[in-house]
Structure 1
Amino acid sequence: MSPDLDAVGGPAARPGATAMRELRALKRGGFPSGGPPVRTLLSEIDEVLDLEAAGALLGGAVPLEQLAAAGGFAGQRMALLGSTTMDSLPHLLTAVGVREGVLPRIRLSGFNQWRFEILAGAAELKEFEPGVVACLLDDSAVFEAVTDPLDVAELEERCQAFAEELAQWATAVRESLGGLLVLCTLPLSPLRRDRITDYRSKARLDAVWNRMNAAVADLAAGQPATVVLSHSAIAAHAGTVFGGDRMRHVAAHVFAPEFLKAYAEELVRVVRAGLGRAAKCLLLDLDNTLWGGVVGDDDIGGLKLGGAYPGTAHLELQALARDLMRQGVMLAVVSKNDDQIAREAVATHPEMLLREDSFVRFRANWDPKPDNVRALADELNIGLDAMVFVDDNPVERGLMRRLLPEVATVEMPRDPARYAATLAARGDFNLLELTEEDRDRTELYRARARRAELESTAGNLEDYLRALGSELTVEPAGPLNTARIVQLFGKTNQFNLAGVRYSETEVAQRLAEGTGAFFGARLTDHYGDNGLIAALALREQDDGVWEIENFVLSCRVFSRNVEDALVGLVLRSARKYGARAVTARFRPTPKNARFAAFYPAQGFTPLPTEDGSPSVLFRHDLAVTADLPGSIRITNDEGAFHVR
């Protein structure tokens, strides 16, 4: 049968065509079945034009509102600026964003208005209030100020000046719009380079251009709230950078559609990281995934691991998993196997890089894998959308996508030589900045397991909490903890009471102005350091009333009275410093409903709201405050919190 014909002799269906038909049907129905089916369908679309069409289908106020109502998505406003035509990029961003659980609301600046838009004050973008500003430039941004493109000395001077200009422009963006700025290094087009005929000048131009891009990349370290993407890394995934010459002349399309798709995917990873939605746990199959062969059939000695191919490929995947673990990713085994045999292979095979203590959980049994994954999410107290599933078996992958679409299921290639590269390229675990708490996550969850053992033997909850020996320390935001505090505010977990996010730039600015105070809290116990587990934002209103703008607590310390202790300390600090009262707001989300009564339980009373929003405002008059929990030793005094 011809590869262009289907089983009945007609034209073969284009990959993704069926998914597009189902997307259109879901849109006509107002997405009644919620977000996950839409995300699953989008994961089946890989062709750039189909993905762009899907984004156009899902874009616009009505579809986005319908998806938001279906639940399971995080919204983000994004401003796009550039030096070339990028009219397809908003559609690609919409499709990729929805696929990854993000509802992007996008404002695209005019053609080559990136510089003037900001320097003119960015009035329209200010009104839009973007949380992310992304700027994608081609080499015309540099060459438009070059009089002689053959004069390498002039080009060198221009490249040096351009990096400095971009730094000043980035500062103007933060001052005008705030939020997170995403830049990208600039590719040098073949036409620019190839017009130079002597190899000495070509080499000099390459060196000059690379130094300029190195200076642009350095802005990530020198500028707050700034991410710099690598155009070469994006091109490696896309397979190309520049589009066809005809489209460049006809429509000023410089970048290839494949490059824009890969750029959109990388930009969505940045957005997810900024929203605290980076994945936390890698779920790994064993047979034909972490090793070659089936241990129950081939015995431990017959497994292919290390040595020659394909054993080297499986070892490469283990090395990647180990490196992810060192950066805070939790590893867990989810395998259909006899538990004892699987554990023995992990423990005794001489080529294993990962041993049993590399995994926070080890589930080798004959239960359906989605059931095991649900149980793991409950045990680790993380969302299903924080998990990434790797399995060589397409049947197991299909079942996971069907029953647990929130889990990121990696479409593994048939050739194990590509396993590690495929997983690494996805960037599921990418963060804006790696904190010490991230690095220590595996040990934190092991300590949690030891606490669970203690809980099972304690006579009652109070005995258990006292036996833990918990110690709580409040610390103001500073250079060593602000990144983690901002990361906590970005989480959409169950104990995020107001849903207010802050960037590092905003925290630094408000601290300098005295318009806000930000704090973290650290918890230790007999089993180790839980890390920075809480973030609070406070401010003083004009009438002398303190306001808790937001309070976020890590899910790993729920039910240990930490939240009671922290609010109790806020109330005591407010009374010590002469505050008239303390107010706090609860904004309901799909995840935080269980804590709707938290503030009333702390002695706050609800106040009427005038804006008609679903949020509830509470007030505590400080006349009587409850005792602090006796199961926690608090290292600070009653003045731990302050607002100036």
Structure 2
Amino acid sequence: MTNAAEKTIYRSPMAELRALKRQDLAGSIGRVRAILAGFSDPLDLDAAGALLSGQQEQSTLAGIAGLRSQRLAVLGSSTLDTLPNLLAALLLRDGVVAQTRLAGFNQWRFEVLSGGALLRDHKPQVTLCLLDDEAVFADIGDALDMSEVEARLARFAGELRDWASACRSLSGGRVVLTTIPLSPLRLARLIDYRNRARLASAWSAMNAAILALSAEEDGPLVLSLAETVSVAGASPFASHRLHHVAGQAYCADFLKCVAQELATVVKANLGLAKKCLVLDLDNTLWGGVVGDVGTAGLEIGGSYPGSAHLELQALARDYMRQGVLLTVCSKNDDANARDALANHPEMLLRPDDFTVVTANWQPKAENIRTQAKTINIGLDAMVFVDDHPLERDAVQSFLPDVTVVDVPDDPAGYAATLAAGNYFNLLELTEEDRQRVAMYRAEAARTELQSESLSMDSYLAGLQSRLTIEPLNELNKGRIVQLFAKTNQFNLTGRRFTADDIIAAELSVFAARLSDRFGDSGLIAALAISKAEDGSAIVENAVMSCRVFSRGVETLLFALLLKAARAQGLPSVTGRFVKTAKNSQFAEFYSNLGFTAEGEDGFRHLLQSLPETPDYLEITEGAEVFHGI
């Protein structure tokens, strides 16, 4: 690339993207992602995605450290050629390389019922099936016979359930269905209002039944396209000409919104949901500047604009109740900020709702970086909301990993803009998610104890830690899968097991819970173990939450595993350490436990001299659980 003095002026962002692709795609990935983030028009996203989806480009992107890959499949009943390109652009800007396969036109049934190669060989981790109303009406003999139509619509959700189950059996991944919009022409062909009402009612009931499939055990994930239609801001349907000439049921803006929804699902599937909402105070959480008008003069609740600021607080509170961490980052006097949070009668959010409150006159980027270290999360897990465009721009410039919400000038749109980002969406809300805020508050108390302790040994002993070890079961499966998906630092191989992976591979999977005198940290570690032909135990992967680093949990778990393996007469225990962008601090983990390096990334323990177990950890349950491997 050229240096600053020779910087090329490009005609357009797309021209620059083409140049970066030709010159040095891998070396320019940061700039490539920034360009993609600037695109909003679906035609630009389509073109950019197509530019980056060639075989050579896919190979280059897959080899870039720090990017995650995900195999996807798209099936449907109409032309969906733009969806893979849209997904490629939208996901790459968030650090995910989409390896997408598209089924042929209206081949959604055939691909599954025939055991087609697209699913069987590609093994997509996420499969989307996007249907239009022709998929329903194709099997109706007389569209004017409302009894026949109602009977067909009543059966369709059950047929989709069976289809999704067969699809999942082929792919082994997650299946995503959607509700189905009813095109105006379907309704307009009925000339009496009674039958129009019957069709609309039956169609709504069918979509409700499709949505209900998500609640079934191992059921598909279902997206409600009513919200997608509202976001698109117009009819979801393609022009009549495109429908007839190209078989395209949906317009570009609508397909972009569908791609955004699926991109959110993919990121959640990879454990990339954001964890922390960073909030400004003056003219963001409340109207007015507290240093000027005092606590009593702030606009919160009541009429506009106070109602808009209260709406943002209510949204943040609901996020917090579902496990999202809240912090304050405000240029303010600390005493003024805390007084308003604690004493204004209309405040929904109080000081105890925030994991960290930072009110000073330092640059906000500096304060956010400090908050991330204090909470022990990555900057890429943080979302920043501030009314001032200069503050937003500064944070985006100095901390590009932080997601900065471009809120409008009018506070009436703050909450809706934040919610539309779907930054915190999860595939499933676990009990650990709900308890996350309490867990991080307890972690702050632990940090305070550590600062007061004379030594690390006295600190660890003072925690009075208790460990419970348990095998995989229906109650802990969701959290275990989430832990494999989300954990980056203590993740010894980078392998991310899904629920289907665990079953298909016939793994022995174990989990550990940790509590201490400050509270319950929940399920914080998981191990997946298989058996070699010679009887050796193979640690396929081990993951542990960053909340409990340096507390001896990982050492105790492996010490118990090695002890159990020797007691059962196994010849050895083996494992692998595969370096990723974030796990390098644990490169010596196996060596420190007495394992011997073997091959490129393998380690073997011959069970002769076992590591000592930390005496400051009490095992309250499951000490013998590894004897079941």
TM-score past 0.5 threshold: yes
Residue number in structure 1 paired with 2:3: none
Residue number in structure 2 paired with 1:158: 152
Distance in 1, Cα, partners of 2:456 & 2:372: 23
Residue number in structure 2 paired with 1:171: 165
* Structure-2-length-normalised TM-score: 0.96
1:218-367 matched pairs, under 5 angstroms: 218-224=212-218, 226-239=220-233, 240-367=235-362
Residue number in structure 2 paired with 1:125: 119
1:211-610 matched pairs, under 5 angstroms: 211-224=205-218, 226-239=220-233, 240-508=235-503, 515-609=506-600
Distance in 1, Cα, partners of 2:401 & 2:139: 48
Contact 1:435 1:483 in 2 (8 A): yes
1:170-189 matched pairs, under 5 angstroms: 170-189=164-183
Cα pair distance change 1:36/1:282, threshold 3 Å: farther
Q: Does 1:61 align with 2:55?
A: yes
Percent of aligned pairs with the same residue?
53
Aligned partner letter, 1:596? A
1:109 to 99, 103, 111: 103
Note the C-alpha offset of 1:36: 3.5
**Regions of 4+ moved over 4 Å:** none
Note the C-alpha offset of 1:292: 1.0
Q: Does 1:622 align with 2:607?
A: yes
Post-superposition CA distance 1:579-634 (Å, at most 9, x none): 2211111111010011111011111111125xxxxxx1111111221111111111
Distance in 1, Cα, partners of 2:26 & 2:58: 13
Post-superposition CA distance 1:34-55 (Å, at most 9, x none): 5443332222211111121121
Distance in 1, Cα, partners of 2:610 & 2:458: 24
Distance in 1, Cα, partners of 2:372 & 2:23: 31
Distance in 2, Cα, partners of 1:67 & 1:368: 34
Post-superposition CA distance 1:45-82 (Å, at most 9, x none): 11111121121222223334444444332110101111
Contact 1:281 1:329 in 2 (8 A): yes
312-321 vs 200-209, which moves further: 200-209
Q: Does 1:78 align with 2:72?
A: yes
Residue number in structure 2 paired with 1:5: none
Cα pair distance change 1:454/1:29, threshold 3 Å: same
Note the C-alpha offset of 1:232: 0.7
Aligned partner letter, 1:516? L
* Structure-1-length-normalised TM-score: 0.93
Q: Does 1:632 align with 2:625?
A: no
Residue number in structure 1 paired with 2:90: 96
Distance in 1, Cα, partners of 2:298 & 2:97: 44
SS of residue matched to 2:326: strand
Contact 2:324 2:424 in 1 (8 A): yes
Contact 2:314 2:348 in 1 (8 A): yes
Contact 2:20 2:28 in 1 (8 A): no
Distance in 2, Cα, partners of 1:213 & 1:473: 43
Cα pair distance change 1:637/1:97, threshold 3 Å: closer
Distance in 2, Cα, partners of 1:137 & 1:50: 24
Post-superposition CA distance 1:274-327 (Å, at most 9, x none): 101100000101111101111122222222111110110000000000000000
Distance in 2, Cα, partners of 1:407 & 1:627: 41
Distance in 2, Cα, partners of 1:292 & 1:137: 45
282-291 vs 128-137, which moves further: 128-137
Distance in 1, Cα, partners of 2:162 & 2:180: 17
Aligned partner letter, 2:590? Y
Residue number in structure 1 paired with 2:192: 198
Contact 2:469 2:622 in 1 (8 A): no
Contact 1:224 1:504 in 2 (8 A): no
Distance in 1, Cα, partners of 2:622 & 2:106: 56
SS of residue matched to 1:463: helix
Distance in 2, Cα, partners of 1:428 & 1:550: 28
Distance in 2, Cα, partners of 1:410 & 1:272: 18
Cα pair distance change 1:18/1:343, threshold 3 Å: farther
Runs of 5+ in structure 2 lacking a partner?
Answer: 1-9
Cα pair distance change 1:573/1:588, threshold 3 Å: same
Aligned partner letter, 1:51? L
Distance in 2, Cα, partners of 1:557 & 1:629: 14
Aligned partner letter, 1:288? N
Distance in 1, Cα, partners of 2:626 & 2:507: 12
Contact 1:37 1:405 in 2 (8 A): no
Contact 2:101 2:118 in 1 (8 A): no
SS of residue matched to 1:224: coil
Distance in 1, Cα, partners of 2:529 & 2:97: 29
Contact 1:180 1:503 in 2 (8 A): no
Contact 2:384 2:404 in 1 (8 A): yes
Note the C-alpha offset of 1:392: 0.9
Contact 2:329 2:359 in 1 (8 A): yes
Aligned residues: 619
Residue number in structure 2 paired with 1:7: none
Distance in 2, Cα, partners of 1:21 & 1:295: 47
Cα pair distance change 1:104/1:632, threshold 3 Å: same
Distance in 2, Cα, partners of 1:133 & 1:235: 21
Post-superposition CA distance 1:345-384 (Å, at most 9, x none): 1111111110111100011111111111111111111111
